[in-house]
Structure 1
Amino acid sequence: MQKRNDLDFEKFEKILKERVVQLEDNIAQLKAELDSVGSEDEIDDVEDLVSLKNISQKDNTILERQEDELEETLHALAKIKNGTYGICEKSAKLIPLERLEANPIARYIVGVED
């Protein structure tokens, strides 16, 4: 497999590490919010209960997305360490620099994504 020598790996590593910190903070905050929400037994009003369930569903969806992005970001950092960052995981072609700058966790070139 080819290795990239045209990328500033330190720049991307810094961007990705900063994103990891952001995501971990967001995840911790969302989990705290979900934990602090009262249980159904504590809520007497049906409208409040429906509202609470909607908020909880939205927070859970956001939490799942943040956890997925964290996993992808950690994967990208691992690829930097093993020298495969910026190489399409399906075609083994180089991911264009512009794509990586727009989406540092990109795993594929456009056209071969899942």
Structure 2
Amino acid sequence: MLTDKQLNHFKEQLLEMKKEAEQEMEQYQDDQAKEDYENDKTGEISSVADHPADLGTDQHEREKEQTIYEQAREKLMEVNDALKRIEDGRYGKSEKSGEPIPVERLEAMPTARYRVDEQEN
């Protein structure tokens, strides 16, 4: 069973993770708003690409940014779920067995839902 001090520590960590994820998502959305002017990122004045590879580079950058956004979104969902478990008094207990999750695991991964020995089963 986690102490109140430990729960507060993990809650603070989770709130910081939530803030980071929200900032990453906001940055992506701000960048998408700038996409109205497609060539702003590359510094091109003309809408005609100078080289076909430029199109590939732009596509790669958009996909990379989309991946970062999706990772931030998933992180935010996991953090919100962990915060809900704190509110419900279920934080730090395995969702599979109900056994306590070791503090070391929670330190490494505050959003952990399972004990390490249950993770792959």
> TM-score range, shorter-chain basis?
0.7 to 0.9
Deviation at 1:22, TM superposition (A): 1.1
Structure 2 distance, partners of 1:85, 1:66, is 22
The one of 70, 73, 93 aligned to 1:67: 73
Structure 1 residue 99 corresponds to structure 2 residue 105: yes
C-alpha deviation, 1:30, in angstroms:
1.7
TM score, norm. by length of structure 2: 0.81
TM-score normalised by length of structure 1: 0.86
**Aligned-pair RMSD on alpha carbons?**
1.7
CA deviations over 1:53-108 (Å, ceiling 9, x no partner): 00111111111111001100010000000000011111211100000011101111
Shift of residue 43, structure 1, vs aligned partner: 4.9
Letter in 2 for 1:83: G
* C-alpha separation in 1, matches of 2:17 and 2:48: 37
Q: Percent identity?
A: 32
Partner of 1:90: 96
What per-residue deviation string (whole Å, max 9, x for no partner) do you get for residues 1-51 of structure 1? xxx344611111111111111110111102222332318xx4524221110
Greater radius of gyration (CA): 2
Count of matched residue pairs: 109
8 Å contact kept, 1:99–1:106:
yes
Code of the aligned partner of 1:82? D
Match of 1:44 among 44, 49, 66: 49
Q: Structure 1 residues 52, 94: closer, same or farther in 2, change over 3 A?
A: same
Could you list the runs of 5+ residues in structure 2 that have no partner in the other structure? 40-46
Match of 1:25, as an amino acid?
Q
Aligned to 2:13: 15
